[in-house]
Amino acid sequence: MKRNPEIIRNILLACERAKPLEQFSNADVECDSGQEWEVSEHIRLLDEAGFIRATISKELNPQSPPTCYIRSITWDGYEYLDTIRDPEIWSKTKGSLAKVGGTLSIELIMAIAKHAVREKLGLEV
């Protein structure tokens, strides 16, 4: 599985929409049909990277993706989300990602998004 920047963004947006201290699960994250396993794995990766705080359950049925309970988004998660939240900025960022196959490090995605923000604000790029 490759990291999917769209799923990562959707998870972080779901975290932001949640009320303080409201725990929610991977079932509450917007995704395409058939991406349930990917969402669970991306939640695990985001927790591991320190972008969110989550608990991953052990499923009794190996045919089902594990249930992930997301407790909160972290400062680093907000920092990343702040660069890609705006739909126009995200669209430009995804366009740049498509040029290199759709996957880059979080740092490079943030750099691309920050460049698009500077352009939008009319700041020197």
All residues at 6 or more sequence positions from 55 whose CB lies less than 8 Å from its CB, including other chains: 68, 69, 71
Q: Which of 111, 109, 88 is nearest to 8 (CA)?
A: 109
pTM greater than 0.85 (yes/no):
yes
CB 15 within 8 A of CB 77: yes
Q: Is 30 left (phi over 0), alpha (psi -120 to 50) or beta?
A: beta
| Model confidence pLDDT, tens digit, residues 40-99 | 999 999 999 999 999 988 766 777 788 899 999 999 999 999 999 999 999 999 998 888
Q: State yes or no: pLDDT of 24 exceeds 90.
A: no
Q: State yes or no: pLDDT of 13 exceeds 90.
A: yes
Domains of the chain: 5-82 (1.10.10.10), 83-121 (no CATH)
